[in-house]
Amino acid sequence: MNQLWTEKYRPKDLKSFKGNKKAIEEIILWIQNWKESKNKAVLLHGAPGVGKTSLSFLLAKSLNYELLDTNASDIRTKDKLKEKVEQAVKQKSLFKKGKIILIDEVDGMGSSDRGGGAELVRLISETKFPLIFTANDAYNPKLSTLRNKCKIIKFNSVHQNSVAARLKEICDMEKINFDPEALKAIARRASGDLRSAINDLESLFSNNHEITLEIVNELNFRDLDQNIFQALLIIFKTKTYSTALDATNNLSENFDMLFNWIRENVPLEYEKNEEIALAYNFVSKANIFKGRIRRRQNWSLLKYAYELLCAGVAISKDEKYSKFTRYRFPTIIKKMSLARSKKSIRISMCSKFSKKLHISSKHIMKDIKFFKILINNPETRNNLIEQLYLEKEEIKYLEDF
Partner 1 sequence: MIEIWTEKYRPKSLTEVIGQEKIVSRLKAFVKTKSVPHCLFAGSAGIGKTTCALALAKDLYGEHWKQNFLETNASDERGINVVRSKIKDFARTAPLNAPFKIIFLDESDALTSEAQQALRRTMEKYSNTCRFILSCNYSSKVLEPIQSRTAVFRFNRLTDDDVHKYIMRIAQAEGFTLTPDGLNAVTKISYGDLRKATNVLQAASIVTEEISEKTIFDVSASLRPKEVKAILTDALSGKFLSARNKLNTLMIDRGLDGLDIIKAIHREVYSLEIPEKQKLKFIELLGEYEFRITEGGTPDIQIEALLAQLTCLSKT
Q: Which residues are at the interface with partner 1 (CB under 8 A)?
A: 263, 267, 273-274, 276-277, 279-281, 283-285, 287-292, 294-295, 331-332, 335-336, 339, 343, 346, 351, 354, 356-363, 365-370, 373-374, 377, 379-380, 383-384, 387-388, 401
Instruction: Tell me the DSSP string of 166-182.
Output: HHHHHHHHHT-EE-HHH
DSSP label at residue 92: P
DSSP label at residue 300: G
In the complex, least distance from residue 78 CB atom to partner 1, rounded to whole angstroms = 13
Nearer to partner 1, 29 or 288 (CB): 288
Backbone angles phi, psi at 10, to 5 degrees: -60, 140
Nearer to partner 1, 51 or 312 (CB): 312
- Rounded to whole angstroms, the Cα distance separating 130 from 127 reads 7
What count of other Cβ atoms lies within 10 Å of the Cβ of residue 9? Answer: 21
Nearer to partner 1, 63 or 359 (CB): 359
In the complex, least distance from residue 241 CB atom to partner 1, rounded to whole angstroms = 21
Nearer to partner 1, 3 or 273 (CB): 273
In the complex, least distance from residue 256 CB atom to partner 1, rounded to whole angstroms = 10
In the complex, least distance from residue 210 CB atom to partner 1, rounded to whole angstroms = 50
Q: Under a CB-based contact definition with an 8 Å cutoff, are residues 146 and 120 in contact?
A: yes
- Rounded to whole angstroms, the Cα distance separating 146 from 129 reads 17
Nearer to partner 1, 39 or 77 (CB): 77
DSSP label at residue 319: S
Nearer to partner 1, 105 or 264 (CB): 264
In the complex, least distance from residue 382 CB atom to partner 1, rounded to whole angstroms = 10
Instruction: Tell me the DSSP string of 31-86.
Output: HHTTTT-S-SEEEEE-STTSSHHHHHHHHHHHTTEEEEEE-TTS---HHHHIIIII
In the complex, least distance from residue 164 CB atom to partner 1, rounded to whole angstroms = 37
